[in-house]
A and B are shown apart, each in its own frame.
Chain A
Amino acid sequence: MTAPQPSSEIAYNGPMKILVMEDDREAADYLQKAFAEAGHTAHVAGDGETGFALADAGDYDVMVVDRLMPRRDGLSVIAALRSRGNTTPVLILSALGEVDDRVTGLRAGGDDYLTKPYAFSELLARVEVLNRRASARESETVYRVGDLELDRLSHSVKRAGREITLQPREFRLLEYLMRHAGQVVTRTMLLENVWDYHFDPQTNVIDVHVSRLRGKIEKGFDKPILHTIRGAGYMLKGG
């Protein structure tokens, strides 16, 4: 990827086709409705076998799989799909939230893991990020959002041509936000992906880090670029 990338600041936020495997009828209905309100289409499977059949036949952008389901548990469904060459991103929902439960989930072929109970905004943010993963940005060396530019090789950040000096952690924070520009990124996603911790800090330490970063990339420029999404998280978005 040497040629200049087409600016990917306009994120793909179009409607997704989501498969929800969840045996709790009420929770499944709620998810279906909530996804619809967010502009996506969700199909619901009430047990593992039905889920497997739907996933195997349909072309979904993301799957949300409950770990414990009747007839066939979530992990075995995922493993079976993966062995059939199905690479649809999977978010595992589970009441089991210990560190190694997460590890087993991811090892079975899951791409993300969310512990019940969860906020829908968290789930939506993660599902949208997962979908985006399909059109991977990992390989790009330069991220551009509006007039903000981040060079992953030279570790330099410029806004409107002006060099901005960042601490290493701030750089990684901005890198993650830019990779998911146009998408909501939650605090826990940042803690997980930038600091590699999965616990809930007592204080909102992430907020302070983000506001510091914001100070550096917005101070002296006209337009805000790092937005706070109420009740959800943050979004980097050019004008």
Chain B
Amino acid sequence: MALSLPAIMKTTAARLSALYLLLFALCAVLLVLYMTSLSARMLTAQTQETINDEVLGLARAYQRGGLPVLVRVVENRSRQPGANLYLIADANGQILTGNVQSLAPGVIETEGWTTEPFSYQRFGEGELDRLRSGNTDQPAPQAGESNPQSEGAKGHNAIALVLRLPNQMIMLVGRDLGEPERFRAVISRALTLALGMMGLGGILIWFFVGRAALKRIDSVSDASRRIMGGDLSGRLPVTGAGDEFDRLSENLNSMLARIAMLNEGLKQVSDNIAHDLKTPLTRLRNRAEATLAGRHKTEDYRQALEGTIAESDQLIKTFNAILMISRLEAGYSSEQTGPVDLAATVSDVVELYEPVAEEAGVALKTTVPEALTINGNRELIGQALSNIVDNAIKYSTDAAETPKVRVALERAGSEIKLTVTDNGHGIPEDADRARATERFVRLEKSRSQPGSGLGLSLAKAIMTFHNGRLDLLPANPGLSVVMSFPLRETH
């Protein structure tokens, strides 16, 4: 990883990891603090209860036999291992009996519960300490005296209940706080450990997971930089893991494929414009030039101008068709769709062409079974069908027998098929049929016929817009042009 720390922190993965780590740590600390305070409170309550029980027992002993019995009981209890703290002192604070050797000053002065933990030393502990450290010459401190050094070093903390007996003597019953304190220490150790682990885990996770993600994002941005550099055939890497990165790459790839296709279409259009619009423009120009050159009668000028206008109109039509095809093919179209009765549209268009067919000696027949409604654009469908019927009438006139054009609308499985069949020569070659819907393609035989060569391409673009297909099939003799609409859901 050649990245510097600031660069690493700039990555989303690192930032997210750091943020999560921080949040988790905060939650853990809060949880631990809550648990500690809760359990400490519980332990304190338990301790106080124990002390209360003790005091109750001692009170009973005092009632039974007065001070001597009380002292005896206290002495007995004091000697038990792990005993509570007991102390009986006179009114001046002089210790009479109990297992406490020294106390923090002032503890026994106030009656009731000690407000906060105080430090103390048990009998024998001071001596033991001195024995251990080999320092025996220091005298044992007197009870009630403070010994800050040993208190600071060796004292324990406790809480206690201080009572004044009827004869002004003082009794203290307490309990060591060692247990809750150990508990707290354990918790804090665990917390530190957990936080450490969490930090380590976060860094490890970032290192392995985040870095892997980073690497793949880097490869995607590398690939896209290459593509932006002009290599439109380039594609983003797909690992095959099927994860979100693969999905992203796949989507971007299909987007690229679409862009490449549109680009290709654009290139084709400009090539075609150069080819097929230049010809009529040249013709137009030549005619104007020729008219200007010689001396003519007014009627000739008039004719030339009318011809010019007719030619420009044809050019405008061609131009409009090109624009429309591009718009429809680009998938960008704001054309509105709605319910379209295909049967009615077929009847309309056939009725529109009927006189033309009759004049050309073509028998135009329809089979329209029922009202078939799809969602689409009536205007566009009408235009596509009219282009196809127009072609069929033109090309059926070279039929061997009586020219016929049949328009049939039928439901076929999950599709609605609108078929226009003529009995002309058709397009015998498969390759030619496939090419016939391409822009400006005019098969050699049709060159003599008027038209822009855009009729079928426009029909095809319209079918694509309707999520349908346009197929050219041999009809032997003749040609079948099939418009297939999906039965449901067209835009």
List the one stretch of B108-116, B168-176, B347-355, B482-490 in contact with chain A. B347-355
Taken residue by residue from 319 to 338, chain B's Cβ proximity to chain A (1 for < 8 Å, 0 otherwise) reads as: 01000100100000111100
Chain B residues with Cβ below 8 Å from A101 are: 334
Chain B residues with Cβ below 8 Å from A230 are: 306
Give Cα distance in the complex from A98 to B380, angstroms.
10
Chain B residues with Cβ below 8 Å from A200 are: 317, 320
A99, B306: Cβ atoms under 8 Å? Answer: no
A199, B355: Cβ atoms under 8 Å? Answer: no
B390, A203: Cβ atoms under 8 Å? Answer: yes
A117, B379: Cβ atoms under 8 Å? Answer: no
Chain B nearest CB, measured from A45 CB (Å): 26
B336, A99: Cβ atoms under 8 Å? Answer: yes
Chain A residues with Cβ below 8 Å from B336 are: 99-100, 103
Choose among B316, B335, B353, B394 the residue that contacts A99 (Cβ–Cβ < 8 A): B335
A169, B451: Cβ atoms under 8 Å? Answer: no
Q: Does B309 contact A (CB under 8 A)?
A: yes
List the one stretch of A34-42, A61-69, A204-212 in contact with chain B. A204-212
Choose among A100, A117, A209, A231 the residue that contacts B355 (Cβ–Cβ < 8 A): A209
Chain B residues with Cβ below 8 Å from A103 are: 336
| A102 nearest CB neighbor, chain B only | B379
How many A residues, CB 8 Å from partner? Answer: 24
Chain A nearest CB, measured from B319 CB (Å): 9
Chain B residues with Cβ below 8 Å from A30 are: none
Taken residue by residue from 149 to 169, chain A's Cβ proximity to chain B (1 for < 8 Å, 0 otherwise) reads as: 000000000000000000001
Q: Does A134 contact B (CB under 8 A)?
A: no
Given contacts A197-B379, A199-B386, A212-B355, contact A231 B306 (CB under 8 A): yes
Chain B residues with Cβ below 8 Å from A208 are: 355-356, 359
Give Cα distance in the complex from A198 to B335, angstroms.
13
Q: Does A239 contact B (CB under 8 A)?
A: no
Chain A residues with Cβ below 8 Å from B377 are: 99
Chain B residues with Cβ below 8 Å from A231 are: 306, 309
Interface size class of B (residues with CB under 8 A): 20 to 34
A199, B383: Cβ atoms under 8 Å? Answer: yes
Count: A-B pairs, CB below 8 Å: 63
A198, B348: Cβ atoms under 8 Å? Answer: no
Give Cα distance in the complex from A113 to B485, angstroms.
30
B390, A98: Cβ atoms under 8 Å? Answer: no
B334, A100: Cβ atoms under 8 Å? Answer: yes
Tell me the residues in window 201-223 of chain A with beta carbons closer than 8 Å to chain B beta carbons: 201-203, 205, 208-209, 212
Chain A nearest CB, measured from B310 CB (Å): 8
Choose among A97, A99, A100, A212 the residue that contacts B320 (Cβ–Cβ < 8 A): A97
Interface residues of A (CB under 8 A from B): 97-101, 103, 115, 117, 119, 169, 195, 197-203, 205, 208-209, 212, 230-231
Q: Which 10 A-B pairs have the closest CB atoms?
A: A208-B355, A199-B383, A202-B390, A100-B336, A99-B379, A208-B356, A205-B356, A197-B382, A212-B355, A100-B334
15 further contact pairs, Cβ within 8 A, besides A98-B333, A99-B336, A202-B450: A97-B320, A98-B324, A98-B334, A98-B335, A99-B377, A100-B336, A197-B348, A197-B352, A197-B379, A199-B383, A201-B352, A202-B386, A203-B390, A203-B394, A231-B306
Sample of 19 A–B contacts (CB below 8 Å): A97-B320, A98-B333, A99-B379, A101-B334, A119-B309, A119-B313, A195-B348, A195-B352, A197-B383, A198-B379, A199-B386, A200-B317, A202-B387, A203-B356, A208-B356, A208-B359, A209-B352, A209-B355, A231-B309
